């Protein structure tokens, strides 16, 4: 009977899209105890059966005997169209509030406004998520590419100017700026470009710019 209960526990875990750690956390049953249950080494006692039933809406009679439905009526068994996301497939990148200085780059003020979830496989194609952050755009100098209020994803490992240019978070004159940069060859100067034509582009010595990172993605809220 123990092995049958173990198999039914595995079924519940699979149907709910959980792993053993999640199951332990949700029910409050210690992880080693859950391992013993799954391995068929021992049976759940009355208290832990109650925890499984209460927290996950599992039918205790079905769990012990295999008779009846696996879930109580108040729980609708997941269908293929309601499959829960596997959060192990995502990484959460913070949007930080801060300012940029000429010498130190982005200085977070320990305030994280929000975290956005990105698929790990997508992010890792672009760089290391540990070295990325989200910044909110302010002002109209990069319109129509970026609007005030847009959120940009910055890869801080890309703190150099790509030969083909790109949009970067930079420090210039102690201000944080989101600008398009283009190297002027063969000089050691850079064009600092605002996509909005009402702003003139600047020609700056490359040593006067601190590149905090390259913008690799942006998000925009739709106005109501």
**DSSP class per residue in 160-193:** S--TT-EEEEEEETTEEEEEEEEEETTTTEEEEE
Q: In this predicted structure, what is the pLDDT of residue 174?
A: 67
DSSP class of residue 149 equals T
pLDDT at position 73 is 62
HSE-CB of 83 using CA atoms within 13 angstroms: 6
Which uninterrupted H or E stretch holds 37?
Answer: helix 31-39
Tell me the pLDDT of the chain (224 aa) as tens digits: 446 888 888 888 888 888 888 888 888 899 889 888 888 888 888 888 888 888 888 888 888 888 888 888 644 444 444 455 566 788 888 887 644 433 344 444 556 777 788 988 899 889 999 899 888 888 888 999 988 888 889 999 999 998 889 999 988 876 778 899 999 988 889 999 999 999 999 999 988 888 989 999 988 776 54
Strand bridging mode 175-184 / 132-136:
unpaired
Q: In whole angstroms, what is the distance from residue 158 CA to residue 128 CA? A: 10
Nearest to 52 by CA among 29, 19, 75: 29
> Given this model, what pLDDT does residue 219 score?
85
All structural domains of the chain, each given as residue ranges with its CATH number in brackets, are: 2-81 (1.10.260.40), 88-219 (2.10.109.10)
Is the separation of the CB atoms in 152 and 193 below 8 Å?
no
107-135 CB burial, b ≥16 within 10 A, e <16: eeeeeeeeeeebeeeebeebbebeebbbb
Q: Report the pLDDT value the prediction gives residue 182, as an integer from 0 to 100.
A: 93
Give Cα separations from 195 to 142, 172, 173, 180 (angstroms). 5, 17, 20, 7
Q: According to the model, what pLDDT value does residue 97 have?
A: 65
Residue 101 has a pLDDT of 33
Question: In whole angstroms, what is the distance from residue 69 CA to residue 61 CA?
Answer: 9
Question: pTM for the whole thing?
Answer: 0.58
Task: Name 98's Cβ contacts closer than 8 Å, sequence gap at least 6.
Answer: 106, 107, 108, 109
Between helix 2-15 and helix 31-39 the angle, nearest 10°, is: 120
């Amino acid at each position: 009977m123990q092995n049958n209960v173990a198999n039914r526990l595995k079924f519940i875990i699979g149907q709910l899209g959980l792993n053993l750690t999640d199951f332990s956390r949700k029910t409050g049953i210690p992880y080693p105890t859950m391992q013993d249950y799954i391995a068929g080494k021992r049976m759940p006692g009355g208290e832990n059966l109650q925890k499984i039933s209460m927290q996950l809406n599992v039918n205790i009679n079905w769990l012990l005997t295999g008779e009846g439905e696996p879930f109580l009526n108040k729980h609708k068994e997941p269908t293929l169209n309601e499959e829960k996301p596997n959060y192990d497939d995502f990484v959460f990148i913070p949007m930080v509030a801060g300012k940029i200085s000429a010498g130190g780059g982005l200085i977070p003020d320990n305030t994280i406004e929000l975290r956005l979830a990105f698929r790990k496989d997508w992010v890792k194609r672009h760089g290391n998520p540990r070295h990325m952050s989200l910044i909110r755009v302010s002002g109209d100098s990069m319109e129509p590419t970026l609007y005030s209020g847009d959120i940009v994803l910055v890869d801080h490992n890309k703190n150099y100017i790509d030969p083909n240019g790109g949009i970067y978070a930079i420090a210039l004159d102690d201000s944080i700026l989101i600008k398009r940069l283009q190297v002027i060859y063969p000089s050691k100067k850079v064009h600092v470009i605002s996509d909005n034509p009402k702003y003139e582009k600047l020609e700056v010595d490359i040593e006067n710019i601190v590149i905090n990172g390259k913008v690799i993605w942006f998000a925009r809220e739709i106005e109501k």
